[in-house]
Structures are given as C-alpha cells and as structure tokens.
Structure 1
C-alpha cells in the first residue's frame, strides 16, 4: 500500500501526488530543497466566449452530398469550415520551495506515499538528527499541510517562498506569504514545455481572465520566524506546520471571472484561518478519517508477492512488473487514490492529468478529451464504490449540455444537445480546430453527447436512484437523443446513417489508395446511438413516462444502418470494408459496443461479438498507456483473463523518459503515473476499471463472478466492488474455484447471478429460495440492507 523510494525526485514524473479534489501538489522530496509543485482545479486560461460557428450550418448539405458521392477527400477539406477555436488550457498554480539550512550529509533517506492514509512522507538523518516531513491535502479543511519535525530541539532551519510561471506578484501580510496572479486570456495548445520565456503568456485581449491567490502560513514549536524579501524564514524550531491555501475567481462556467467572479482572498483566508485553529494532529486525524471513508471500501488480494525483502517501487516495476500480483494490486489501489484525490463533490472533474500539471502549455491543454479519455477517467467509479467521485463529472455533463444546446442550434440547426472532441472549464461544446487548422479526423465528431449520457445512465444502473434518473439524468439523455434523431439521415436503402461521420483519430484507405477521415455511418457512431436510445427506452420504462418518445426511439433504433463483418472476419470500423490507415492504431472506437457499451454479447449477438474479438486481435497488444487499459477491459468482456494479463504486463513497464512521445509503447513512470506517453491519467483509471471487470461483470443484467480470472491469480479475494442493480459484493476464490460470495443488497432489487456452479443462498443460517432461469443463472429476491451469502454446493472451476 506504499510507494517507496531511496532518492528524491529529479523529474516531475518521479514526484508524488497529493490532492483533495481541488488543491493538488507534486512532492519532490529534496533534502536541501523541497519542491511542492502546486495546482488548483479551476486555474485555467480564458473566460466564457461564444465558440460556436454559424457558418458550419451552410456547409453541412454540401459535405453530405460529397460523402454520398464517395468524394471523401473533398468532404474532409470542406469539413474544416465547421470548426471553432481550440479549448483553453489548465495551468500550473506555482511552486512552494523550501530551502533547508542543513550542516552535514544526509543518510537513510526515504520518500514514500502511503495509500492507506493519503499522506506523503520524507525522512532522512543528518548526523544524529532525524528529520521527518508529512504532507497531505485535506478535503475537510481545504488546505495543503506540510508538517516538519526534528527529533532533537531547535534543529529546523529553512526559508520558504512561492513562485509561479504566470503573471504574479508576491506580498507579505499578517505573517503570511501571499502570491497573487492573473491567468492568460488565451494559451494556444502546445505539447512541450516552453517555460523559459513566461513573458510570452502575458495578458491579452479584454482582461477578462481569472485571477488567483495563494497564501502560506506557519505554526511552530520553538524558534523564530519572520518575513523578508527572501520569503518566510524559520530558525531553530523543533516542529513546524506550514499551511497553504489557494483559490481563483472562478464562479461558474458561464460567468465572467472578473465582472462576476469570486474574490479568491475571501476563500483563501477562510480556509487558512480555520485550519490554523486546529493542531496538526487534529488536521491529520480529520484528513485520514475522510480519506479512508472512501479508500477503505475496497480490498483486493491477488496472491503473495514475489518480493521477500522491501523493494523500492521503481525497482519493483523494472524487475518484476505484472508477474508480481502485489504490484498489480498497488497500481489498482494507486488508481483509486488518484480518483479520491482529484475528483470530489464540489470540485471540477478530473481532467487529462487529474489535477496535476506543471506546464503552461500542457500536452493537449490538459483538457477534457471527450472521444475516450474523459470518459475513461470515470469508468471505475461505480464498479469500485466511489460514486461520490462521479458527481463532478455528472455535474459537468449537465453544464456542458447547456452550452451544447446552443452549439446544436447554431452549427447544425437541430434539436437537443451535443459536444465534440474537446472541452474545457468553460464547457466548450463546439468542434475545436482553430477555425480550419485542425484535422477532421478528430474535430468532426459530434457524438460526445451520446457517450457522456452513458455515465448518467450508469450512475442510475448502479444506484437505482429514480429521483436522480427523473430529475437529472433522463432530461439530459433525452435531449442528447433528440440531437441524434435529427442528425440521422436516410441512405439510399432507407437505413439511418450519420454524416459526416468519423472513427476518432483513425483514417481509412479508399479503394484508390487515398486516405480520408470523413464518411458516413461509422460503427462507433451507430454503437453510441444504439446505446443512448436503449438507455432512454429503459429509462422511460423505469419512470413510466414518454411512451410516444419511446416508440419513436425503438423505431429509429431498428432502422440504424446494420453493422458489418469485414473481409478479415473483423467488425468493420467504417460503413465500407476499407483498410486501416494504421492496423495497430491506439483507438479501438468501433469496439465501444463491447466495452464500455453492452450492445455486443456472446449470447445476444454472437456473430458481431466474434467479429469484434477478431478486430481486437488484429489491433495487437501494444499501444499507449490508456489504449492498453481499454484493451484490458475488452479482453475481460471476451472472458480471456490471460490475454488481459498480457496487456497488464505491457502497461507495467517502466518508462524513464518523461518527454517520450512514442505512441506505440505505453507504460508507467516511476511514480506509477500512466505514460501515454507523455503522462495521461486516464490509463491509471482505465486500469482500475479493467481489473474490476476481470473479477466482476454485470452489464448483461446478471452478475457474473470471476468472468475472466487470469491463471496467474489462482487464489485471492476482493471486497467492496459494486454491480448494477444496487449490489455490493465480496468474493473469495481458491485454485480458481469460487469459495464464497457475499452480496449486500442496497436497494432490495431482485438479484440475478450467473453461475456454472451449483450454489445455495443464505441469510444467516436460513437458506433463501432461488429460481434457476437457464443458461447457468439463478434469480432470488432480496431485501434492502441485507447481506446474502452464496456458497458452492460442490467445488467447480469458475
């Protein structure tokens, strides 16, 4: 449950993350110079703007005509006229630098991140003095806490200062160090650092961007402290607690951060002064209690470690990788830790890097990439019992839908709402691409509304909260479906197709050898629409409403262009059997219907299910970090745990070059951050979802236990995973045989359990009556709040 290191971090991807959903820091752990690289989740460039493109509407008929005539390259070219501006960028707040005055050489250095209490620690000896640091970001108290301790009195001496790459000033007041700044009005997207000349990011435009403030305060035992031009100095102390509080003027996605913004000073001082009233011990206890209320919900044991002595995490990755089940567990728990520390009620949702970023021009603006990455961030929250952490994303979808209605009306003249490839804190919903400079292969994709709606339905499917479905989820889903209804047009055979249509970030090769992106009726489009229509149909049945709309959905769903099996036995990615631009492309968009969707199953759609599996085999087992994570869940749905473990092996490879952009080789950095490369947090979250999917599945309206258990994990247990229908599950297995299952019914729904083993169901000592319903499944009634024990009557291989 710990990440351990014998040296301080030399690069950002060696530093250790802490966070409370809003305030984040990367801790380097230097002996002479400690660096905490700081983030605040609302610190973005820009302000609310009209990003829609009224010119797009007039090009839509022309593009569709070219597509139906088979002139795909020309359609690509014309489609550039439908784009809007790029999204804005998530920005680094600054650095807290603590320069220590040590006499002597350090020894016995240890740096760690404890996942069980959410605290980062640094410890070392200088001569006969042991120095210890404990650092955490408290959700309850909304401050970052740095506690310094020496085991001998009067030995702590340091100067702390705040710095930023943004336009800032440093002030001193009331024994506090204050950093105040202004965000850039616009930051063009960039992929690499350009921190040498921060002046190029000076304020532009109308001065409507965010302002921000951070404050550093101190409590100490012994010694003296003072402020001067060097910063905050502490001399001859024995223990010191530093408090850092930060905020911005952000007051909503649709409000001017200057004219209608919050005063960040009010927020900062409130949290800082409240925290200073408490002792470090109280702050620490409050933080641990809050954090563990989420983290302790899930336990996982995949077997004994191959390591007999303590080993540093970077060495563990390099020497053992996925062959050690305990390292697999550590990566699983680290992903849950990242979710808890980057997405909490009231915060922004986790972006492409969670809440951690040190660049003014981060990769892909560290925005919300909606053709896979933002959704992947939230795949594990329901299955891994972190539904509260889903709330920021669900709220984001609701606000994005507000802007998405305007986009649909302006760009397409249609009903409903949608969004496209990228979004930001201002909820940009229009196609990005700097008005024609982007590539249609990723910009011309109006399907984000359909995909995002799946998260609303999944939250209901797991919680069975009909009030949420009625008041929040269904209205948003319905409007997304209205857009899809209007977006669909008939082809020459009377089938409903989408046009223009792309398979995100992947091009096809036409019969004459040319490459293009824009066509019609890609498999992903149709699968997303099928999923959305199906969820809306089921929602109307749950709510007993909108019968006429349900009938319209059923009719249009039945007329969707039928998905095809191609010449290689693969599920076609496009409506024609074109060859791939890149056979091993990182995106597997056409397999959405397998995972995270539910359209293709072995029982209901065997031919398409088989073709989808063949497509995945053709894609291969290499790829970026997040691509490997997606494939783990896909192989879990195909019930091939050993193939999934092979992908876990590829993912648990050490990447040492943080500037690498080799998209064919993902992995993890030494701090376990996912390497796209560069760093993207979606691979961490996707991995967690994949491991859960190997152990438990419920997408077919029945709970399937150990559907894809790898041979390398013959013994183990898991507790706290959740299944659709409102069930929480603990299960234990030995020699790949189910030993015992406990099912906690949260809502009193009927439980359908898929099992090839004869079982009995008990409440206490009482045996519950079960109904065998064929194809290896049983059904039994449950009562809310009651635990049911499932015991195999005789052992059998699961």
Structure 2
C-alpha cells in the first residue's frame, strides 16, 4: 500500500446549518450526512436499496415496433412535428418513469450538559461554547466534532464502516453528560410534517424503526440503533428513545431492507450485536485498516497547499492548488463511500447514496445519457477499479430486461436500454420528454465501460463474464442500424443528441430526431471496436464468429464525424448541419469522440480537434457549463485538447459556481456526478493514456502523457499510484514545471508503451519528450535518457 502523502481534511469552525453544509459518510451501502450540532447531532441516513415500489411490469405500449418504419420515414423526410406526434401516440411508456430512491431515516442525538451550577443544560444563551472544530478526515473516513461547552470538553467521532457494516458514533466528554437518541423518517427538504414509517418500537434495548416505501411490492426496511456506555454510565429506555448518561459512549446504527434479507430486522440487530461484541478501539481499527487498504493506493498533492484554512474559506476566497488536490481526494473518498463490491451491490445514483428527499430531483436514480457514466470516470485511473463492479452487476441485469425492450420496441435482437434506469434494471423508455425519452443507446454507452475496465486491469475473467452483455448490445446495434437517406452510410434512426433541440434550416421546424447523431455513431464505433478486441482476446468459444463478421462489415459503413462549413464546429446531428436552438446547452454530446472516447485527438485528427476546440468556445461563449456536471465535462474535454489555460479557468469555475460548502457538486441542486467528473478532469490534466500508437509491423501500443494539460498555477506536485490503460501504474513528481526524474512505472501486463514528458503550461503544439519503454513486468525507473530496472 502506498504511504499517504498527508491526511486531507475538510475543516469547518461551525456546525452545519443545512444539508449542504453537512459531511457525508458511507460504507458503500449505508450513508449518513453528519451535521455536527452542539446541542443536537443530526444524522440524515440512507441505504442504497430503499426505493419507492417494486419491479414494474412492461411499460411500453404494445405494438410499438410496428410503427418503427413509419417513424423512420418521417425523420428522413424532415417532418419533425409528425415524427414527434407519432412517438407520443405509439412509443411512450405508461407509467412514464422507473422507480425513485428514498431516504432511510434520521437519527437525532439531543445533548444535555452541566451549566456549572449543577443543573442540566440542553441549549440556551447561558451556554458558553468555545473552540468548535468540525472535520472530515478523508484518509480515515471519519467525521470529528470537538468543542468545549460550559467548561466540558466534548469530542464526537463518526464512521460508516464497511468492515462492520454499521454507522458508529463515539462520544467522549471530560465529565459526565447525558443525551437522548431517537429515530424518525421525515423529509429534510420538503415542507412536510408527516413521518413516513410503519412503526417504532424497542427491541432488546434497541430502537427499531420499520417502514414500507410507497408503491407495490417495495422493499420494506428496518432501521435500528443501540447504545453502549462505559462502566460508570447508563442506558435507559424512555418511551421509544434511549437516554444515555456517561463520560464515554458508543452509538451504533444498522439498517437492512428485504432487497437482500427476508428478515431485515434480524439482520440489522445482528450487525449491532456484532459491533458491540468488539471494543470501540477494535471497531475503529478494523474500519481504518479496511478503508486505508483501498483509499491509500493512490494520491495527488498540488502545492502550495493552504490546508490550515477552513474549507469554506478556501472555496470562497482562496482556491489554492492544494484545494484542487483536496477536491480530487474528496471524489475518491465519495466513490469509495458509495460504491463498493458485495452481493447485490448497487452503483452510485445521481446523488451517490446521499439523498434527503422523498421526491428527489430526477428520481435520484440512474440517468444513463451522461450522469451514471460520469460517476465512474475516475474509478480506473484513481486506482479504485473495484468500485466500478456494482455498475457491471446492474448492467448484467439490464441486459436481461433489455431483451424484451429491444424486441418489443425496436424489433431487434440483443438488448438495449434508454436514458434512465433504476434498482430493478428497468430498460423501457423513460419520461415523456422528446429530447431524451426515445434514445435506446444508454445501454450501449454503459457497455463501453466494459472495454475500458479491461484496458486498465487486463482482467480476462472479467471480460469473459461481461462478454455476453457486450455481444447482446452489439446484436442490437447491428439490427438497429439502417441505411441513411443517401444509402451511403449506416446510421441509427431514430436518433437524437441527448436533451438538445435543433431548428430545421429549410422548414424552420423545431425537432429532436435525426439520422445518426454524432454521439450515436461514435458510441456504435466504440462498442464495435471493443467487441473486435474482445473476440481477439477470448476467441470464438465465447463470442460468435458470425456476429464478428457482421461487425467487421458494418464498421466500415458507419457515418463519420462531420464539421460544419458554417461554424467550423463539430456537427451535432450527424450529417445534418442543423441550427442549434440553445447555443450554450449543458450537454456536449457531439464531442463524445474527444472524451470519453478517443476518436478525436490533437495528434491523430488535428482538423477534428480544432473543430472540437471551436465547438467548446462557442458553447462557453453562450453560457455552457452552467451545471456542475457540465462544467466537469468541459474540463475533461479541454484537457484532451491539451489547453491548460482553459482547464484552470473551468476548474476554478467548478469550484466557484458549482461547489457547495461541503464540497459536494451542485447542478443545482446537489448531484454527485460533477464531483467525479471534475476529479476525472483534474487527473486528465496530469496523466493521459487514451491514445494508441501504431508501430512497425502494425502492432498497437499505449501512449502515456505526463502533465499534458497541467496549468501553470500547478507548478509543483506529485502523483502516486495512478493507473493507466495497458495495466500500468505510475508514481511521479514535478517541480518548477518540470518532471523530476525518475518516474516509477509498475507494469502488470508486460506491455510495450511510449511515455511522453510534457512540462507545466505546455500547449497542444508541444509534442513533449518521448521515451519508448520495452515490455517488462514489474517495476522500472524511467529517465529522459532511458529506462533502468529497480
């Protein structure tokens, strides 16, 4: 395990006044937002399988596929209003949406302190509070509150432990204090006084809350809490609350649903019992060891680092380079907190696992036209590949459900999914909004993560496991592709560019549907290319030879990326140079080939790269990047173009305009994708490995660039444990803008590659210093004049 450069912390000198100030804890499944109150500690709780309702029956109208050819003809003819009218009548699902994510509940801990006169105090003007500190230690995954009240020093530490599968709060006071523990299930954001629960009872001295989220066949939940005190303390049941009096106490929260356990109460109480079977020190020790094993594998540190300042002050006034590395570290912390592999694990939602609302924006589910994918952009590069496994668990279930969707809606083989899904892997059309609803390539985009995961890990067993999912996606795409109006190219039809709208240049009609949007065609090319690679790796005993031949034939006929002769930008709707109705649109789907794919690079496709640059300048000039995740995507795109000045402008804008006081991203409101996408962009400024070089004999090797888009402000820093495609792991430092030799390279797969040294502030025209690294397994040291074994 790598030594941790430092213990990065979020630091504050006041309690949280709202959810946007509270600090997140998570063990992958259980989550808490910790407020750090002095007189009342509030923990807003989540559990990843608490969703409204159960699996839904097929929602798509019967016979939709019989109207598909009519729809395609309308699109070819440019009859956009008629096409949308047909979609409304024949293709929209009922009910219109998949299920949505709900809160688990709230644990309140109300404190009473002595006031120096022998009387209890639970809040008031007479209380004297000093030296309040609140922090989140990312390296230990621990939220800490410290203060002195009426002369009594109090320290609270909270963890969400994967090792123990509970949330634990340790309370330590210099003298005896009292507090009351209670549970409820209410909304934190809606103006609502109702409790959404079935019962609260005392079972074996623990508070036990039962609830059934609304909707048919939903997973009922059980939330439980217990307390343990030192030898001189006491725990008393008062009504349906626990009254604790002690100098030192441990509060343990556990929860389960019927998603994994038929008897959720039994499972929750067993977790509390197991935790109470350990000393508090041992519970913490196991948590920290488990956390550090994953978190400590990779780190970034930029200098100067004003870590002595509070986080809110740094966000408001400072935004030093060290804050950028803290932002990156926080994203890794969040991913490890909300997406860990275990049986029936679920991926991170739009809000990770931290949702305060019973009516969350966009259902707090899995939006798959950018958001879920962005959640995992840092998984492989930041040495957290296992955190991506819950995504593939969901993808396997989607591939099963999506077979019916592909057949009933599109009359195709294989499987597909539209722009959103849920805990039950729903693949039907979602919502009733023309710019998004009828887009069946959401599953295909997710399938590109299969190849990316393999490129980083070289895990052949994983590739074999996911091969049927990839092949089913390929079958759908092969059947879904049709000749375009000219008969020259194969295109998707109907197609759209997610959530955007155009104006037809001749008729003036507004529309969303086209033949072969640029994003669609790049996704299809990427999936087909990954399938060809998978076939080469796995052979015909796993993948079909006949499908392989179909892919080879189709690949050469796919519509290419086009540049607009009017604006010199990348055309968004395929070969149709339609007029954009919202020039500053938040989606930048037509630049998918630049990022996350690698079809456009400054080196291999300079004309397309320049068109991409013009596209970005045009988007930003008209207000693009106004949501957190959109700004994050811009950082990645500028980094791929090796435009360091634009990178730092957009990193600063992300921090300034789209980051809450607790450093969570805001759309607005809170969405976690911007945290992950922003961190991915920060890392793209420092390390890139998406390019492929063809060498003599036709072999393809990886190109790894160091500091390709590093802003001039980041003139000193270090990276440890960064993962690159090809199975490489690198450690390196730089100072005064130059790479410090040597670069430590660890090769898992013994592949040849090219390492390119750039310097801080270099631009796309600077090709850098290239060093060819021969194939070797293990560790080597790379200098600018060659390679040496360790």
Judge which range, 705-714 or 600-609, deviates more.
Answer: 600-609
| 1:98-121 deviation digits (Å, cap 9, x = unpaired) | 111123332211111111111001
Could you tell me how far apart the structure 2 residues matched to 1:455 and 1:756 are? Answer: 28
Q: Note if contact 2:158-2:170 (Cα within 8 Å) is conserved in structure 1.
A: yes
Residue equivalent to 1:179: 209
Structure 1 counterpart of 2:82, from 66, 74, 95: 74
1:742 has 2:744 as partner: yes
Could you tell me how far apart the structure 1 residues matched to 2:592 and 2:776 are? Answer: 34
Judge which range, 312-321 or 18-27, deviates more.
Answer: 312-321
Q: Note if contact 1:52-1:410 (Cα within 8 Å) is conserved in structure 2.
A: no
Q: Secondary structure at the match of 1:411?
A: helix
Moved over 6 A (4+): none
Q: Note if contact 1:51-1:428 (Cα within 8 Å) is conserved in structure 2.
A: no
Residue equivalent to 1:117: 140
Give the alignment's TM-score, normalised by structure 1.
Answer: 0.88
Structure 2 counterpart of 1:698, from 689, 693, 704: 689
Map of 1:568-607 to 2, 5 A cutoff? 568-575=567-574, 576-607=576-607
Could you tell me how far apart the structure 1 residues matched to 2:206 and 2:567 are? Answer: 68
1:649 has 2:679 as partner: no
Map of 1:463-474 to 2, 5 A cutoff? 463-470=457-464, 472-474=465-467
After TM superposition, give the deviation of residue 776 of structure 1 in Å.
6.3
| 1:254-295 deviation digits (Å, cap 9, x = unpaired) | xxxxxxx62212321221111110011111111111111111
Q: Note if contact 2:707-2:758 (Cα within 8 Å) is conserved in structure 1.
A: no
1:217 has 2:226 as partner: yes
Could you tell me how far apart the structure 2 residues matched to 1:67 and 1:127 are? Answer: 73
Structure 1 counterpart of 2:781, from 773, 784, 789: 789
Structure 1 counterpart of 2:524, from 522, 529, 551: 529
Map of 1:290-369 to 2, 5 A cutoff? 290-305=290-305, 307=306, 310-321=308-319, 324-346=320-342, 347-369=345-367
Could you tell me how far apart the structure 2 residues matched to 1:343 and 1:570 are? Answer: 37
1:21 has 2:31 as partner: no
1:244 has 2:253 as partner: yes
Residue equivalent to 1:761: none
Could you tell me how far apart the structure 2 residues matched to 1:38 and 1:608 are? Answer: 47
Residue equivalent to 1:488: 481
Q: Secondary structure at the match of 1:722?
A: strand
After TM superposition, give the deviation of residue 739 of structure 1 in Å.
1.7
Q: Secondary structure at the match of 2:86?
A: helix
1:287 has 2:287 as partner: yes
Could you tell me how far apart the structure 2 residues matched to 1:337 and 1:775 are? Answer: 33
Residue equivalent to 1:32: 39
Residue equivalent to 1:683: 674
1:387 has 2:385 as partner: yes
Q: Note if contact 1:181-1:211 (Cα within 8 Å) is conserved in structure 2.
A: yes
Residue equivalent to 2:184: 163
After TM superposition, give the deviation of residue 51 of structure 1 in Å.
3.1
Residue equivalent to 2:164: 141
Could you tell me how far apart the structure 2 residues matched to 1:577 and 1:70 are? Answer: 13
Could you tell me how far apart the structure 2 residues matched to 1:652 and 1:560 are? Answer: 40
After TM superposition, give the deviation of residue 14 of structure 1 in Å.
0.5
Structure 1 counterpart of 2:103, from 92, 109, 120: 92
Q: Note if contact 2:228-2:235 (Cα within 8 Å) is conserved in structure 1.
A: no
Q: Secondary structure at the match of 2:357?
A: coil
| 1:605-631 deviation digits (Å, cap 9, x = unpaired) | 222222122111111164210001111
Q: Note if contact 1:59-1:79 (Cα within 8 Å) is conserved in structure 2.
A: no
Could you tell me how far apart the structure 1 residues matched to 2:485 and 2:301 are? Answer: 56
Could you tell me how far apart the structure 2 residues matched to 1:16 and 1:776 are? Answer: 43
Structure 1 counterpart of 2:10, from 3, 8, 24: 3
Could you tell me how far apart the structure 1 residues matched to 2:410 and 2:387 are? Answer: 34
Q: Secondary structure at the match of 1:364?
A: helix
After TM superposition, give the deviation of residue 300 of structure 1 in Å.
1.4
Could you tell me how far apart the structure 2 residues matched to 1:360 and 1:492 are? Answer: 47
Q: Note if contact 2:200-2:240 (Cα within 8 Å) is conserved in structure 1.
A: no
Judge which range, 632-641 or 700-709, deviates more.
Answer: 700-709
After TM superposition, give the deviation of residue 547 of structure 1 in Å.
4.5
Q: Note if contact 1:739-1:792 (Cα within 8 Å) is conserved in structure 2.
A: no
After TM superposition, give the deviation of residue 72 of structure 1 in Å.
1.0
Q: Note if contact 2:706-2:758 (Cα within 8 Å) is conserved in structure 1.
A: no
Could you tell me how far apart the structure 2 residues matched to 1:747 and 1:505 are? Answer: 41
Map of 1:499-518 to 2, 5 A cutoff? 499-511=493-505, 512-518=507-513
Judge which range, 380-389 or 692-701, deviates more.
Answer: 692-701
Could you tell me how far apart the structure 1 residues matched to 2:240 and 2:316 are? Answer: 41
Could you tell me how far apart the structure 2 residues matched to 1:34 and 1:498 are? Answer: 54
Could you tell me how far apart the structure 2 residues matched to 1:755 and 1:335 are? Answer: 26
Q: Note if contact 1:697-1:723 (Cα within 8 Å) is conserved in structure 2.
A: yes
After TM superposition, give the deviation of residue 644 of structure 1 in Å.
0.8
Q: Note if contact 1:3-1:113 (Cα within 8 Å) is conserved in structure 2.
A: yes
Q: Note if contact 1:181-1:212 (Cα within 8 Å) is conserved in structure 2.
A: yes
After TM superposition, give the deviation of residue 602 of structure 1 in Å.
2.6
